[in-house]
Structures are given as structure tokens and as C-alpha cells.
A = this chain, B = another copy of it.
């Protein structure tokens, strides 16, 4: 075949990303090959390289979608809550739930290192930074007396801790440190460590 013009470049890109995400979710990272993606969208492998620089470029596009999905999920969760403390809890639980509910997408985002020569692709990084900033903003409402530097340090450390719970949960290593696999438990413990016991006074 030659020129078909069935879809625009942009459409083909979207199709490829969607197909790749489906393969990623259903079959895992190792099964996600350019050949499978090409076959899934009805084009040849060579054509994929007119849409993406290489495989890592496609994976980076996937990661952008994942980062967006996490951010929007957390955003939706907290906008119905008023108490900053509850917001942080909801974000933490939402983060862990996304990790355990979408392990392959989560792993690709955080554990698949892209080669450094494609570092000038700040889009994905910016979307993660947005996530950290969401935490920071929420934390600012909870601890208004903290200075900017201390606030940032605290938010980053807290979210790094939550991230660690997610990381261990996804790789199935949380049970190594204890019997339970109920990640919410670890979540609550982390929040308590950072922000004190839940609801210190109720109906008092």
C-alpha cells in the first residue's frame, strides 16, 4: 500500500497511545512492543517511527497520560472535602489505590527510567511536579505557620513516604514487613506520624 490518508498524524498518535496503554494494562510492560502496537492500530512498525522518535518516546507519552490520570483523580477526591487533614488523607489513599489498581501504568511511570538523552522532555516531569504542588498547597492550609522552605520539605517528605508505601505495595513487598496487605493501614499510620492522631477531639 502507499498513501492512505485514513487518519491524520495526530489521530495515529492518539490511536497508538491508546493501543499501547491497553496492552500495558492487560499484558504488562514486558509485552508492550512496538510491533504489537503497530498491529493493534493497523499500521506497520516503520510507520510508528514517523509518529514517535523511538519506543521511549511512546512510553513517555503514556506516562504523561498516567500522570494526568493520577492528578485528576486526586483533584476530584479532594474538591468535595473541606478539612485539609481529610484532604491529605484522601490524597494519600487515592494515590495508593491508583498504584495498586493500575500497577503496570504506575510502574512504567515511576520505575522505568528513560535514557537521559531524551531528558529535554519536561512535559512528564511538570505533571508530576503538579502533583507535589497539590500536596504542598493542601498542606499549607493545614499548617499555615510553616515557612515556604519548611513547607516544601515537609510536603515532599510526606509524599515521598506515601510514594514508598505505594512502591512497596505494587511490588508486593509490603508483606515482607508485616502480615497485613491492607495498604490503608500504612497510609493512616503515615498520616498520623506526620500530622498527629486522627481527630484528636470529637464531640468534646
B residues less than 8 Å from A165 (CB atoms) = 157, 160-161, 164
B residues less than 8 Å from A113 (CB atoms) = 107, 171
Instruction: Tell whether A13 is near chain B: CB-to-CB under 8 Å.
Output: no
Whether the Cβ atoms of A153 and B194 lie closer than 8 Å is no
Number of interface residues of A (CB under 8 A): 41
B residues less than 8 Å from A129 (CB atoms) = 176-177
Instruction: Tell whether A154 is near chain B: CB-to-CB under 8 Å.
Output: yes
**Which of A42-50, A75-83, A184-192 sits within the interface?**
A184-192
Number of this chain's copies in the complex:
2
A185 to B129, CA, bound (A): 19
Within 8 Å by CB of A189, from B154, B163, B186, B189, lies: B154
Instruction: Tell whether A35 is near chain B: CB-to-CB under 8 Å.
Output: no
Question: Given A164-B161, A167-B164, A176-B132, does the pair A189, B153 have CB atoms closer than 8 Å?
Answer: yes
12-40 of chain A: CB within 8 A of chain B: none
Whether the Cβ atoms of A167 and B110 lie closer than 8 Å is yes
Whether the Cβ atoms of A153 and B110 lie closer than 8 Å is no
44-95 of chain A: CB within 8 A of chain B: none
Instruction: Tell whether A111 is near chain B: CB-to-CB under 8 Å.
Output: yes
**What mask results when residues 154 to 187 of chain A are scored 1 for a CB within 8 Å of chain B, else 0?**
1111111111111110010110111110000110
A153 to B158, CA, bound (A): 17
Whether the Cβ atoms of A132 and B177 lie closer than 8 Å is yes
22 interchain pairs (CB within 8 A)? A107-B111, A107-B113, A110-B167, A110-B173, A129-B177, A132-B178, A136-B177, A152-B177, A152-B178, A152-B179, A154-B189, A156-B178, A157-B165, A157-B189, A158-B193, A159-B177, A160-B167, A160-B174, A161-B193, A163-B167, A164-B164, A167-B167
